[in-house]
Each structure stands twice: as C-alpha cells, then as structure tokens.
Structure 1
Amino acid sequence: MSKQPDTTRRAIVGATVGVGLGIGTLSILVPFASLNPKKEVTPETEPPKEGDLFVFAEGDKKGQEITFDDLPLGGPPALAYPKDPKTGVVKSGERNNLVLLIRLNSGDLSPEAAQYAADGTVVYSAICTHLGCTVSEWVPDKGELLCPCHKGIYDPRDGAKVVGGPPPRPLPALPIRAEAGKPVVAGGFTSPVGVVAGLEPQGGSCAV
C-alpha cells in the first residue's frame, strides 16, 4: 500500500498548524504594537526648538511672553510653555513641553547648570522623573524645586539634581540664550523628559 496519502495528510496538517501559529503570533504582536501608537506631531505639540520664546502657562499673565525682568531673582520659578515666534503658536498641546524658568545668581550655578543658562536663568522640564507629576512647588528657604506628589526635591543651582525623595534622575535642562531681554531656546532637552522605561518605579503613574 502506498504511503503517499498519509504523507500528504501530515504535510497538510503541519501546514495548517503552522498557519495557525503564525496567526496566533500576529494576534499577540498587533495588540502590543497598538499599545504605543505614534502621536501625530502638530504645531501645538512639537517639542521646543531653537529660537522658541516662552509664555506663562498660568496666572494673570498666562499666554504673555516672558522676559528676564518678569522672573524674580532667587525664585520662585515660572511655569511656561515654548512659543514659536514665527507662527505665534504656543506649544501647550503637549504636556511634556511644560517647563520651569528660574532666575538665580549666576555665581550660585554649578558649571553644569551654567552651561545651559542665560542671565542666571535656568530652564528645566516641569515633569517629575519619578511618576510624571508636575513639579509645581518651590521651597523658598532652600531655593529648591518640589514635586507635591511624592516629595521629590531638585536643586536648580546644580543641574536640577535630586536632593530628596524618590526621583531616579535629575530634571532635564533646556538650554537657553538671551535675545532682546528674553530667554530663548538654544537647543533641545538634555535628556528624555519625564518617566524613562527601566528607571520608573513600579505601581502606577501620576500626572497632575
């Protein structure tokens, strides 16, 4: 008796199983790929770029361009968004664009902080590196930045390095230069903004 039909049946079954496994693999890959959809970049969401100005993100002066004279020497910081001077678009559509501007004595800045500063003013991301909350509080007696969620503390005089609490790394700096009495973006953030995969704590996220 010929064994050809048997062999053929095994080949068909094997091929069917193979196709089934392939589809199963795809069904696993597709959901994972869809977990991180690419964001569409618009003028309101593009990251800060060289030449951008800054506007107040809150308060009575919300939307107004920031000058060095608007920033009190020694703090507190101002929450701000970058603004494209050519189009007038404020880049407030992306939370990671929120920054802190603090004007300090130039002599108090560490070499690391000074290389990104202008007129004693430093600019840092306002997104905490711990769980992504907004670093919105100021400790006046120590001149430190405070995240209200889990009490992460950063020193703006020394590159926003962590001096207290759970954040795993400093706040990214945004280099600036001075033009016509205003701070102007001179480059991109010095490191990734917010929570970085592999460095974030376990147990959830926070954004305020």
Structure 2
Amino acid sequence: MHLFSRPALALASLLLWHGAAASQDKPVAAQGSGFDFYVISLSWSPSYCAEQGLNANRRQCGIDRDYAFIAHGLWPQYASGYPEFCSSSEPERVPNALVGAIIDIMPSAGLVGHQWRKHGSCTGLTQAAYLEATREAYERVAIPPELDNALDPSRISADAVESAFISANPGLPPEGIAVSCKSGRLTEVRICLTKQLEFRSCSEVDARGCRASNLYVPSAP
C-alpha cells in the first residue's frame, strides 16, 4: 500500500530539494562556533586617534589619555576566512556593566558592542564569556618594552615589531603574528591563538601582514 500519492511525493521531493539548496546558500557565519582558532587584534591606539582626528572617541583619544596597545577584538577564524555577524541567543546590545568591566583595555563602548556583534556572536560564547576570553587573550600577550607606552613617537620596521613580540613571548612562532599598517603608520598587531588561548601558527593571517620597512609609530594625543 502506498502511503503517499505521486503528487504528494513530488511535492515532498521539491521541498527537500529547496531545503538542501537553501542550506548550501547559507553564509559561513551560520556555522557559529565551528571555527578553528582565534586572532587577538591589538590596536595601536594613537594611530586610530590620528586617523580619526576630531571624530575619534574622546575616552580613547582625549588629551589626558596615553593608551598604547588596546584590545581591538578577539576574532574567531577558519583555516581560510572567518565568520562574522552570526545568529546568537544573546542580545545585540552589550549591557553597561559588561562594558564597564572591560573598558580599561577596550576604551570605547561602541567598540565593545561592535566586536560582540561582528565577532563574539560567532564564538558560541555568552557576552560575558566572550569579553572574559578577550581579556584573557589580551593578557596572554606580553607587550615588548620598546612598545609598551605611547609617550614618544618613533619609527620601526614591521619585521622589527614582529621580532620584538616574538622575543617577548616565548612559544610565539614567526608564522603566528602579523603587523597591520595604514598610511605609513603602525595600526595593529594580530596574534593567532588556539581555542585554549595558546600561541599557534596561522599562515593565511601571516601572509596578509604588513612588510613596510619604515613605519611611523605616533604618540598619544
């Protein structure tokens, strides 16, 4: 005995086909926490302040601020590419209490919120756990003494920046760090970490690094 008529079977097959096609069309972000590793992005704050000028966040760039490297964000990565703006059961807005708990290393509520929505939502973590992991990753990296303050402007090569971080962080491989630059200025240092926040190599991230031989490192405003 047939439980379904031919038209019903045809309709069922059509619906299954459309469901499979729709799943194939989903962006990689829909994979959520199925990522491979993290990048902790350390932003040279004075470069952001110089680029943004009067539009810069005053908490970060006021005349009484001397931020050097801040936590730009903790980014989940695939071996190739990365997820972003994933669906999450957590709210989009980060509560003031959580912002206040990390404002010392991410000195902008707007930055905290954006990093959560774009990157944190793809980790499978709660907002609190993501920001806690961001702090742990930030504190995992030792800042080289020559780059530990933003009081004096200087010039340095991208290779020298990488070498300084590698010397200050035993176990950090040369293929696990990348310098970013813009308009001749040092902007970021990106370091790859396992999900357990241990140093690791990341060839794709490393390959995109800045290779400039004479980077300007501006001082705090």
Q: Shared fold (TM-score greater than 0.5)?
A: no
Relative contact order (alpha carbons < 8 A, sep ≥ 6): 1 or 2 greater?
A: 2
Higher helix residue share = 2
Flag the structure with larger Rg.
1
- Provide the TM-score with structure 1 as the length reference: 0.29
